[in-house]
Amino acid sequence: MISQVVLDALNKQIKLEGDSSQLYLAMASWAETKGLEGTANFLYSHADEERQHMLKLIKFVNERGGKAFVPQIEEPKQDFTTLKEVFTAILKHEIFVSESINEIVFLTFENKDFPTHNFLQWFVSEQIEEEKLARNVLDKLEMIGEDKGGLYLFDRDIVTLDVSGTQE
């Protein structure tokens, strides 16, 4: 059985993963309306991935004898000015998510909840990959600068980026 403090933290993380999905979805919609189809598809895919993270947490909580709380999702920011702004926001958000997961990992140690600690190691690794991907995309956008041809190629190629930010 999960302690109440760990259960509360996991339910908070469930909400954060749902909010993450909505953030990526809003960013994808923005990109799509700007003609950035490749970026939109990349972000739609990540919105789905974040939803899967939420479901993974819900199932774990319920399987461990807790009760997962399905929260109201916050409306994310809807408008952006540049792709660099989008990916800067993504990196900032992913760092926030990493910090949240790290706090839960610490709680699992304090509460001697080793099954949850082991479960969360997948999320710890996932967050390292998410932050690395956002940093690599920002590096590419920095190289491109204001070059529209470079932006076109970036948008065409972003769907082939793997989690390390390199072409598949």
Q: Is 93 within any annotated ligand binding site?
A: no
Neighbours of 28 (CB within 10 A): 22
What is the pLDDT confidence band of residue 98, given thresholds at 50, 70 and 90? very high
Summarize pLDDT for 114-151 with one digit per residue, the tens: 999 999 999 999 999 999 999 999 999 999 998 899 99
The amino acid at residue 79 is D
User: Check: CATH 1.20.1260.10 for 4-160?
Assistant: yes
Average confidence score pLDDT of the chain: 93
Q: Is 78 within any annotated ligand binding site?
A: no
Q: What is the pLDDT of residue 164?
A: 44
If we measure between CA atoms, which residue out of 26, 29, 25 comes closest to residue 47? 25
What is the pLDDT confidence band of residue 74, given thresholds at 50, 70 and 90? confident
Q: Is 75 within any annotated ligand binding site?
A: no
Q: Where are the domains of the chain?
A: 4-160
Least confident of 5-9, 73-77, 117-121, 163-167: 163-167
Q: What is the pLDDT of residue 160?
A: 79
Q: What is the pLDDT of residue 166?
A: 52
Q: Is 74 within any annotated ligand binding site?
A: no
Listed in sequence order, the residues at least 6 apart from 105 whose beta carbon sits closer than 8 Å to its beta carbon are 117, 120, 124
If we measure between CA atoms, which residue out of 83, 84, 89, 57 comes closest to residue 70? 57
Least confident of 54-58, 63-67, 72-76, 118-122: 72-76
Q: Is 17 within any annotated ligand binding site?
A: yes
